Amino acid sequence: MTIPVDILKHRHAKLAAALQSAGLEAIALNPGPSLHYLTGIEFHLSERPVVCLFRAEGAPVLVLPELESAKSRNLPYELQAFTYPENPREWLNAYEKAVQAAGLRASAGKVGVEDRVLRLLEYRLLKQAAPEADWVNAENAVASLRMYKDAAEQAAMQKAVDVAQKALEATLPLVKIGMTENEVSAELMMQTLRHGSGKPPFEPIVAAGPENTANPHYFPQGRKLAAGELLLVDWGASHDGYYSDLTRTFAIGEVSAELQKIHQAVQDANAAAHAIAAPGVTCGAVDKVARDVIEAAGYGKYFTHRLGHGLGMEGHEEPYMRGDNTLPLEEGMTFTIEPGIYISGTGGVRIEDDVVVTAGGLRSFSDMPREMRVVG
């Protein structure tokens, strides 16, 4: 999305405050959602190292390849750009100039980075350019901004959910016994684009049968849909750079009472989490209420992952809905609720929704039926 200049400037001011309170001289960001969030510029993460340095005061300083220099021109805010030509031996020179311009060349202070995004490629250049600086993980500095979605961001996420739901509804009538997981996945991805999605955030996980559905991070491997088994679909869409990430689990024809019981337990856990999540409730407490439901049903040890994760410009981001996370929810936070039960040899069920914390409690972006529907 094109980010209005006043929103960019507001974010710069909030980041500056976050840097100051964290005792950071600057933060160095390479291509990824945080860089886009703060600059409005889109870069691919490539073999050419790109870094932008943000400080508490002064314009951001960007290092980028000459051939992308157009991206640093005619911006609606001040930015200092240093470019390098195609020969990698020229990279360090540009990094040294940028670090100098940012006042970090001889600094022995703390400079923040995002451990989860910054690669050794950029890190080694930064370290050579500012050898005395202390490069510390400061993911929270940007995450603490990005975690709160404004109205435009929430609208984009709602749209990404709407598109994804419509795409699956358009796909379901085409799902037949004998199709492969991969055929369902391809059809769903096509429907996702047809319904107006940007580049899908990930290839749909379409898992069928007692082993594949029980593998939470499965990649489709060609199993054919067979009657009496489960079909798990984990899919998403994007709109203006914001993601949806949903899961529903279906019965292929009629399934056993045990599979129905498992599905019901997951559905109840999902509902319990929706019911409790609200401002002031901790992430851990939301995880616990869902986990308690599944434990009471006798399946506790088969709920092998956290309840959910933050969602926005990334498929997984802050806040993480983990039992040990004492962060209290606040208005504008967006995350997934996705309890699951995975029994290898029997089957796996997950029901995943995307939600936003509101003043009054919680609003679910997703509203597709959660009960076990029959396909095939």
x-or-dash string of contact with its own copies, 289-328, rule CB under 8 A: ---------------xxx--x-----xxx--x-xxx----
Which range touches its own copies (CB under 8 A), out of 103-111, 209-217, 225-233, 248-256? 209-217
Instruction: Return the residue matching tokens 């949903």.
Output: 246
Rounded to the nearest 10 degrees, the angle between the axes of helix 91-101 and helix 120-129 is: 60
x-or-dash string of contact with its own copies, 23-62, rule CB under 8 A: -------------------xxx-xx---------------
Q: Which H/E stretch holds residue 158? A: helix 151-171
Between 260 and 305, whose beta carbon lies closer to its own copies?
305
Which range touches its own copies (CB under 8 A), out of 52-60, 164-172, 187-195, 359-367? 187-195
From residue 371, how far is each of 101, 157, 270, 349, 376 by CA, in Å? Answer: 58, 23, 11, 11, 16
Between 96 and 240, whose beta carbon lies closer to its own copies?
240
Total of chain residues touching its own copies, rule CB under 8 A: 55
Residue 173 touches its own copies, criterion: CB under 8 A? no
**Distance between CA 130 and CA 260 in Å, rounded?**
60
Residue 214 touches its own copies, criterion: CB under 8 A? yes
Residue 128 touches its own copies, criterion: CB under 8 A? no
Asked if residue 319 lies in contact with residue 147, where contact means CB atoms within 8 angstroms, the answer is yes
Residue 121 touches its own copies, criterion: CB under 8 A? yes
**Distance between CA 226 and CA 222 in Å, rounded?**
12
Which range touches its own copies (CB under 8 A), out of 103-111, 156-164, 215-223, 269-277? 215-223
Provide the minimum distance between the beta carbon of 132 and its own copies in the complex, in angstroms, as a whole number: 18
Q: Which of residues 61-90 bind its own copies (CB under 8 A)?
A: 66-68, 70-71, 86-87
Provide the minimum distance between the beta carbon of 204 and its own copies in the complex, in angstroms, as a whole number: 9
Up-side HSE of residue 59: CA atoms within 13 Å toward CB? 12
Residue 345 touches its own copies, criterion: CB under 8 A? no
For residue 334, give the 3-state DSSP assignment. Answer: strand
Provide the minimum distance between the beta carbon of 11 and its own copies in the complex, in angstroms, as a whole number: 20
**Distance between CA 26 and CA 312 in Å, rounded?**
24
Residue 124 touches its own copies, criterion: CB under 8 A? yes
**Distance between CA 127 and CA 119 in Å, rounded?**
12
- Residue count of the chain, please give it: 376
Which range touches its own copies (CB under 8 A), out of 93-101, 157-165, 213-221, 331-339? 213-221
Residue of the chain from 61, 117, 141, 163 that contacts its own copies (CB under 8 A): 117
Between 101 and 152, whose beta carbon lies closer to its own copies?
152
Side by side, the strands of the sheet bearing 61-65 are 80-84, 61-65, 51-55, 26-29, 110-113, 134-137
For residue 90, give the 3-state DSSP assignment. Answer: helix
Distance of CA 208 to the CA centre of its chain: 25
Q: Which two tokens mark 241?
A: 């750079």
Q: Which two tokens mark 99?
A: 């670090």
Provide the minimum distance between the beta carbon of 295 and its own copies in the complex, in angstroms, as a whole number: 16
Asked if residue 61 lies in contact with residue 82, where contact means CB atoms within 8 angstroms, the answer is yes
- Contact footprint for its own copies (CB under 8 A): 2, 42-44, 46-47, 66-68, 70-71, 86-87, 113-121, 123-124, 135, 137, 186, 189-190, 193-194, 196, 198-200, 202-203, 214-217, 219, 221, 304-306, 309, 315-317, 320, 322-324, 344
